[in-house]
Amino acid sequence: MTDPLDEARWNALEEARSNPGEAILGDLFKAAEVAKVMPNTLRVWMSRGKLKPLFGEPGKEIFHIPTVVAVAEAGREARRKRTQKSSPPHSALDQLAA
């Protein structure tokens, strides 16, 4: 049985070869920049198992940037949903003002 990460690595390499002008692979800082998050956020996601680098030893990881962007967007969407659920109901004054 093949490791899914091995398949992801091969797919990422093929994608990088097919699109040489696009940023497909990048280090921690490039991936964080493109995903519009802080580098420490990626470190936290790695420690929690939400994100795995494709290659590299600790401190020299290489990430599949579209995956990092997708994880960041999913996190933002989940945060929006949590915020909407936890917002207090509108008061009667708010309803009258509307």
Residue 25 pLDDT > 80, yes or no?
Answer: yes
**Per-residue pLDDT tens over the stretch 36-63:** 999 999 999 999 999 999 888 888 999 9
**CATH class of the domain whose range is 24-86:** mainly alpha
Could you give the C-alpha distances from 29 to 21, 52, 55, 76, 94, in angstroms and in order?
19, 15, 15, 19, 44
**pLDDT score recorded for residue 16:** 72
Give mean pLDDT, residues 63-87. Answer: 87
Q: Global pTM?
A: 0.68
For 3-22, write each residue's pLDDT tens digit: 666 777 777 777 777 776 66
Determine the average pLDDT of the residues in 29-34.
95
For the chain, what are the domain ranges? 24-86
Q: Which are the contacts of 41, defined by CB distance < 8 A and separation ≥ 6?
A: 32, 72
